[in-house]
Structure 1
Amino acid sequence: MAAYQNLFMFVAGFTLIALASKQIGQLFTRFKLPLISGFLFAGIIAGPFIFDFISVEATKRLRFVDELSLAFIAFVAGSELYLKELRSRFKSIKLVSIGIVISTFMLGSLTVFALADFMPFTRGLPVASRIAIAILAGAILVARSPSSAVAIIKELRAKGPFTQTVMGVTVVMDVLVIILFSVNSSIADALLTGLQFNLTFIILLFVELTAAVAGGYVVGKILQRILSSRINHTVKIGGILLTGYAVFAVFAGIRHFTHDRLPFEVFVEPLLVCMIGSFWLINRTDFRDEFLKILHEVGPLIYIAFFTLTGASLTLDILADIWPITLLLVAVRLGGIFIGSFTGGVLAGDPMTYNKVSWMAYITQAGVGLGLAKEVGGTFPAWGPAFATLMISIIVVNQVVGPAFFKGALVWLKEARPRAKKSEPDQIHSAIIFGADSQSLALARQLRAHNWEVKVAYRQTGEIKNVASSYFDVQPMPGFSLNELQAFGVGEAGAVVTMLSDEDNYRICELAYEHFGTDNLVVRLNDLANYDRFRELGAFTVRPSTAIISLLDHFVRAPSSVSLLLGMEENHDIIDLEVRNPNLAGMAVRDLHLPSDALILSVRRAGHIIITHGYTDLQIGDWVTVVGSLDSLEALELRFDEHLPSSRTTYPLRRDLALEKDAAG
C-alpha cells in the first residue's frame, strides 16, 4: 500500500510540474524557440540537479510515462507513412532517404567510436561495448522530425517538387530509423551479453524481426477493433494508449523470461511493433482519419509529459563535460546529411539547385530521436542515462537551428508562399466583393449601412443587369490576374469577399493572401470538398445550404445572442476593432475602463481566438470583438486606433432603414 501511495504522490507532483511546463513551452515560442525546448527546460530546472522537484527515484518510478509516450510516438511515426501520398516522388524519396541513412549512420557511428576515450561514460569500456554504443548513436543521429517539417511547410505554404520530396524523405526516414534501431538494438544486446555472431545469432535476429512484424499486425487489428467499436471517444483514446503501453509490458516480459530461462535473450523492439501496427491501420483500413484525429488530440498532452520527464532525466554533470563532443557530432551529422542528400538527389536525377541545398531541409530532430535516446537510457542503466544526455543535447541543438535552415532552402528555391505583410489600412473600413448577384449586392448594401466603403466587381454584363446603386461602386473586371487585382485596389481593402465559382474564388484569395496580406478573406463555398484549400489561406467559408440551418438552430437555442450578432437589436451592434494605439499595448482589459454598455467578447491574436477575462493583456495588432451601443462602439473605435483623430469626420455608426429595406428587397 505504501508503494502505491508513493507512486500516487509522484504522479500528482509530476502533473503539477507538467502544467507549469506547458506554460514555459508557450513562453519559449514567443521568442521563436521550439515548443519542446521549453518543456525540456522546465524538466531540467525541476530535475534533481537544480530544484529536485523530480528526484532520481521519481524518474525511475515514472518509467511507465516514458513507455506510454514512446508507444504513442511510434504510432505517430507509422501513421505518417501513408503510401498513396508518396507515389509522385517515390524515386527521389527512396534514393535520398537511403543516401542520408547510410552516410549519417556510418559517419556518426565511426565518430562516436573514435571519441570513446573522450567521453566519461565510454572511457574504459571494452571494444564490444564501444561498438554497441556507437551503432546505437549512429541510428539515433539518422532520426528526423516530421512535425517540425509539417509546421514549417504550413507556415510558408510551401508547394513544389522539392517540398514533396522533403516531406516524403522525412516520413520514410523516421520509419527506417526505427527499423535500423531495432536491428542495432539486437546487435548491441548481443555484443553486451557476449553472444557469438554465428548462424544462431542470424536465426535469432530473424525470429525477433518476424515477431515484431507479427506483433505489429496484431496491434493493428486491436487498434482497428477499438476504433470500429461503438464506445465513447474518450474510452477509445484510453484503449489506444493502453494498447501501446501493453506492447512494452509484454515484450519486456518476454525479454526477461528468455534471459532468465534460456541461454539467449529474445529482444523484440516495442517501438517497431507499435509502428508496424499503426502503419497497417493507416494503409489497410478505413479508420485513418479517426486515428489521426485522436493522435492530434492526445499529442500535446503526451509531448508535455514526455519532454518534461526527459529534461528531468538529463545528467547535467555529464552534459557539462561533453558539450564540445555535442557540437562536433552536430557538425558530423550535418556532413553526413549533405553527402547523403546530395548523392541521392544526383542518382535520382533531381535538379542540381535542389541537391545543393537539400541538406538544409533534414536537420531538425524531435520525437522519434528523443524517444530512442530515452529507451536506451532505460534499457542500459549502467551507461544509458549519460548516453541519452549526449543524444538529447544533439537533438536540441538540431531542433533549434534546423527550422531556420529549412525556411532558407524553401525561400531560395522559391517554393515558399508566405502571407504578404499587410499595408497600412485606410481610415475607413473597405471591402471588395467579387460577384454581382442578388446576394452580393445585398451584402454590399449592408456593409455600406455600417459605413464601409464597398466595391463590387462583376465579370458578365448579365450579372449587373437592371442593377443601380448610389451607395457603392459596381465595376466590370475582365480577369483576376495580379495586376488587375492591384489596379482594382485589393491591396488597400480591409476585406475581400468572393462569391463566384470555387476556382475563381480560390484564385482571388490566393493572390490576396500571398501578395497583399489581406486580413479578412470571406468565401461563399460551393463545394464542401474545397474547404481545406480555403482554410489553408485562413479564409472564412460560408456554405449557403448549411449556413441557413445553422442560423435557424442558433435562433432556436440562443435567440437573443443571434439577433444581437445580426444587428437586429436597436442601437446595438458587434464589431471587430484592431488595436493600433501603442498606449494600449500591454494593458489589461480590466484597466480599459470600458463604457458600461460595452463588453469585449474575445481577442484574435496570430490566428488564435482568446476568450477574454479581466487580466487579458492587449497587444498591438490584436483584433478585439466588442459588443455595445453604437455610441460606445464609435468612441472605442477612436480609442483603439491612434490613426483616427477624434476630430475626423465619421459616418454615424447606425443603421439606415432605407438601406435595410433596399437590401431586403
Structure 2
Amino acid sequence: MTSSLIIQIIGFGIVAIASFQIAGYLKKINLPLITGLIITGIIAGSSILNFIPRDSINQLRFLNDIALAIIAFSAGSELYLKELRSRIKSIQWMTFAQVTVVFILSSFLIYLASASIPFLNDLPQVSRLAVSLMFGAIFVARSPSSAIAIIGEMRASGPFTKTAVGVTVLIDVVVIILFTVCFAIAKAVVNGTAIDFTFTWILALELLLSGLVGMALSKLLIIPFSFKAHRYIKAILLVVIGYSVYALSAYLKSWSQDVFSHEFSLEPLLICIIGSFLLTNNSRHRIEFSVLLKKISPIIYIVFFTLTGASLSLQVFITVVGVAFLFFGFRIVSMFLGSLVGVALAGDDKSYRWIAWMPHVTQAGVALGLTTVVAKAFPGWGAEFEAVIISIVVINQLVGPPLFRWSINRVKESHLRHAKPEFDGVKDAYIFGLESQSIALAKQLKENNWQSRIVTLDQNVENRQVDDLKIISIKEISLEELRKLELERADAVVCMLSDEENLSITEMVYENVGTQDIIVRLNERENMEKFHKLGALIIDPSTAMVSLLDHFVRSPNATSLLLGMDKSQDTLDIEITNRDIHGMTLRDLRLPTDVIILSVKRKGQMIISHGYTRLRLKDIVTMVGSPKSLVDVRTKFSGY
C-alpha cells in the first residue's frame, strides 16, 4: 500500500464522516439516508468540489468490492427458509410472477424506447437489446433492509406482510443469477463474441463453479464465529473474507486470459450470497452472523453510497433525469401487472391484487451494486447507465416506503401504538391480578387519590370482601372483555399475571387503548425484551430487591424519598394540560417554596432542564415536595 493510497483513504474517510452527518440533517426533511449520502458524494466528487478526484475514485474501487461483498452477505442472511414456510406457496408464485413479468415487460418497454434515448440510440440494435436486458434485471432487485425496517417500525404482522418480506428477500437472491446471465450476454454482444454453444457451456460452467465456491465460502465464513474474540476482530475477518472473493475472481480472470486467451469469470456477488445463505440456514452461527452484519452495515453503506455519488458526473446526471422518470414508470407498470399475476397464481385474497406491488418499489444496495459492475465494464455508455439507475433508486427511496406503509395500513396489519387518551381529570389505575401485592398496591394508590380497580379472572370474586376496593371479574383476556372495562379511562395499567397473560394484555392496551404507563411484573427474564419493545415499565422481582438495597447503600436519602418513607416529602409526575402554562419558562413559574422540579420529559425524551426551559403541553414534569404542595401544583399545571 503506497503512501499516496493511504492519504487518499484518509481523505475519503473524512469525506465519508461528513457525508453521514450531512445525510443525517437531510433526513430531518424526510430525505432517505441513502439519498443524502449519494447527494453528498456528488457534491464532494469531481463534478463540484473535487474533494474526491476521478483518479482517486479508481484507486478506491477496492472499497466498493468490500462493500458489495457485505451487501451480498446481508441479502443472503435475510433468506431464512424456516421463517417463510407458512406462506411459501404465495411467496413462490409472487416471486415467479414479479421476476418474470418485471424482467420481460420492462426490458421490452426499454428496448422499444431505446431508439429515442440519447446514450442508446447510437448503439447497434442487438446491443440496445442487451442493455435493455440489464436494465430489466436490475429493475427486479428489491431492498430487504428497507422492507424489514418499515415492518419493524410499524410492528406489522400478517399474511400480506409475511409474503411481502419473503418475496423481497428471495428476489434479491434470484436477481443476482438473472443479472449474471444478462451481463455475460451483454459483454459478449458488445465485444463481438458469438453467443453459441461454447458461450453457453462456459457461462453454465462459470455459474456452477461460482455456486461451488459459494458452498466452500459458507464453511470459511464459520471461522470468525468458531472462537471467542471481540466483535471488531470478527468484523475485520468478515471484511477480509468478502474482499478475498473479489480478489480470487480478479486473479482467475487474469490467469485464464493469460493461459487460455479467454476470460473465465466467477460472479463474486453470487458467491457471497450463496455462502451467506448456506451459513444462515445450515449453521448454529446464524444469529451471531446476522447481528455482526447489522453492526457493520451502516459503515459499509456510508462508504459505498458516498463513493457511488462521488463517481457520478453531475452533468450526466442532469441529462438523464428525464429518462430515469420514464424508466421508473416502466418499472411501476410492470410491477403492478406482475402483482396481478402473482396474486391470481397464488390464490391470495383478491383485495391484495391492487396493492401487492407496493412493498417492492424500494431499491438500495443490490441494485446500485449491480450498476457499478456495469459502469466499470462498459466505460462508453456505462456512466449514463449508472446515472439512470441511481436516479431511479433515489426516486424509489422517496416513493417506496410511504407506499409500503400505506399498503400495510390498508390490509390492517399494522400494530402501532394507539393514540394516548385524553386525561379526564381523575387518575385511574387498572391492576390485573388479585393477590396480596395487588391489594396492597390498590390501597396505597387510593391513599394518594388514585381510583384503583383490580381485574381478575376469578369468577368467584363476588364472594370475597376486600375492604372497599373495586374488583372486576372478566371471563377471559380478550379485546372484547377489555373494552367492557372502559380502559380508555386508565392512566396506568399494572400487569401482575403470568408473562403470557401480561404480554397479551400489554399488546392489546398498546394497540387499542394507548395508555401511557403500562407496568409489568416480570416472571421470566427471557421475556423482558418482548415487553421492552412495547414501551412497558418492567419490574423484575429477581433483581429488584438487590437494586433497591444497592440504592439504599449509595443514596439512602433519595431512595427513602422515592419509596415514600419520609411522610413530609413525596415525588410526583405531572402532565402539562393547562394551556396557560404552555410556553412559560421554569424560572417564571410561581411554585411553593418546598417544591423542586427534578426533570422534564417531552415526547418520550428526557431533556436537560434549566431556568430558561419552556414548558409545552403534554410535557411530563417530575417534582419533589410536600404532599400538600404537590397537590396544589398538580391542580395548577393540569387545569383541574
TM-score w.r.t. the length of structure 2 is: 0.87
Shift of 1:222: 1.6
Q: 1:275 aligns with which of 270, 273, 276?
A: 273
Moved more, 538-547 or 298-307: 538-547
Partner in structure 2 of residue 362 of structure 1: 360
Verify: 1:164 aligned to 2:162, yes or no: yes
Pair 1:206–1:583, CA change in 2 (3 A):
farther
Distance 2:577 2:446 in 1: 24
State whether residues 459 and 475 of structure 2, in contact with CA within 8 Å, keep that contact through their aligned partners in structure 1.
Answer: no
AA at the equivalent of 1:135: L
Please point out which of 541, 563, 588 is paired with 2:559. Answer: 563
> Over aligned residues, Cα RMSD in angstroms?
3.8
Matched, 1:521 2:531: no
Find 1:499's aligned residue among 496, 500, 512: 496
Identify which range, 310-319 or 576-585, moves more after superposition.
576-585
Q: Which residue of 2 aligns with 1:654?
A: none
- Residue from 313, 331, 334 that aligns with 1:333: 331
Give the Å deviation of 1:308.
Answer: 2.3
- Matches of 2:577 and 2:386 in 1, distance apart? 48
Residues 415 and 181 from structure 1, CA distance in 2 versus in 1: closer, same or farther, beyond 3 angstroms? same
CA change 1:623–1:464 in 2 (3 A) is farther
**Does the 8 Å CA contact 2:215/2:274 hold for their aligned counterparts?**
yes
Distance change in 2, residues 1:533/1:396 (3 Å): same
Equivalent-residue separation in structure 1 for 2:140 and 2:583 (angstroms): 44
Q: How does 1:62-81 map to 2 (within 5 A)?
A: 62-81=60-79
- Paired with 2:126 and 2:455, the residues of 1 have a C-alpha distance of 76
DSSP 3-state at the match of 2:320: helix
| 1:9-408 pair list within 5 angstroms | 9-408=7-406
- Structure 1's 251 and 605: CA in aligned 2 closer, same or farther, altered over 3 A? farther
One-letter amino acid of the counterpart of residue 388, structure 2: L
Which sections of structure 1, spanning at least 5 residues, go unmatched? 649-665
Give the distance between the partners of 1:219 and 1:384, measured in 2 at CA. 31
Instruction: For residues 390-436 of structure 1, give each alpha carbon's deviation from its aligned partner in whole angstroms, at most 9, with x where no partner exists.
Output: 10111111121112222222222233333221122345654321112
Paired amino acid for 2:94: V
Aligned length: 638
CA distance in 2, matches of 1:406, 1:336: 17
CA distance in 1, matches of 2:522, 2:303: 40
The 1:449/1:136 distance shift into structure 2, 3 A limit, reads farther
Aligned residue identity for 1:563 = T
- Residue 115 of structure 1 aligns to a residue in which SS? helix
Q: CA deviation at 1:100?
A: 0.7
What is the aligned counterpart of 2:625 among 612, 624, 630? 630
**Distance in 1 between the 2:386 and 2:111 partners?**
16
Q: 1:560 to 1:183 in 2, by over 3 A?
A: farther
1:174 shift after superposition: 0.9
Letter in 2 for 1:145: S
**Aligned-partner SS, 2:222:** helix
Distance 1:166 1:633, change over 3 A: farther
For residues 476-515 of structure 1, what are the structure 2 equivalents within 5 Å?
476-515=473-512
Residues 451 and 90 (structure 1), Cα distance of their counterparts in 2 relative to 1, 3 Å cut: same
1:329-355, Cα deviation, whole Å (9 max, x unpaired) = 111111111222211221222222222
1:580-615 CA deviation, whole Å, 9 max, x = no partner? 688999999999999999686785746xx6685989
Q: Per-residue deviation at 1:205?
A: 1.1
| C-alpha distance in structure 2 between counterparts of 1:16 and 1:478, whole Å | 63
1:253 Cα deviation from its structure 2 partner: 2.3
**Is residue 600–residue 624 contact of structure 1 (8 Å, CA) maintained in 2?**
no
SS of the aligned residue for 2:157 comes to coil
Q: What's the offset of the Cα at 1:313?
A: 2.5
What is the identity, as a one-letter code, of the residue corresponding to 2:36?
A: G
- Do 1:433 and 1:440's aligned partners in 2 also have CA atoms closer than 8 Å? yes
Contact 2:75 2:169 (C-alpha < 8 Å) held by counterparts: yes
**Is 1:564–1:573's contact at 8 Å kept on the other side of the alignment?**
no
Q: Secondary structure at the match of 2:17?
A: helix
User: Per-residue displacement from partner, 1:608-637 (whole Å, max 9, x unpaired)?
Assistant: x668598999896786685x7436997899
User: Which piece of structure 1 moves more, 575-584 or 316-325?
Assistant: 575-584
* Cα deviation digits, residues 490-541 of structure 1 (max 9, x gap): 2132221211233432332222122222222222333456555444433344
In 2, the alpha carbon distance for the partners of 1:365 and 1:314 equals 18
- Give the deviation of 1:84 after TM superposition: 0.7
Q: Contact conserved, 1:564 with 1:574, CA < 8 A, in 2?
A: no
Distance 1:49 1:495, change over 3 A: farther
Secondary structure of the residue aligned to 2:354 is helix
Work out whether residues 255 and 267 of structure 1, in 8 Å CA contact, stay in contact via their aligned partners in 2: yes
Deviates more, 1:350-359 or 1:527-536: 527-536
One-letter amino acid of the counterpart of residue 404, structure 2: F
Pairing partner for 2:415 from 417, 427, 436: 417
The worse-fitting range, judged by mean Cα deviation, of 37-46 and 160-169 is: 37-46
- The SS at the match of 1:456 is strand
Residue equivalent to 2:536:
539
Aligned AA (1:174): D
- Asked if the contact 1:144/1:365 (under 8 Å) is kept, the reply is yes
Structure 1 counterpart of 2:68, one-letter code = L
Shift of 1:488: 2.7
Cα separation, 2, equivalents of 1:576 and 1:458: 28
Say if 2:428 and 2:450, in contact at 8 Å, map to a contact too. Answer: yes
Moved more, 393-402 or 629-638: 629-638
Q: Deviations over 1:190-247 (max 9, x none)?
A: 2233322222212211221122112212221122111111222221111112211221
Q: Matched residues in 2 for 1:30 and 1:310: separation?
A: 22
List alignment gaps of at least 5 residues for structure 2: none
- The Cα shift of 1:287 comes to 0.7
Local SS of the residue matching 1:356: coil
Inter-CA distance 508–183: structure 2 relative to 1 (3 Å threshold)? same
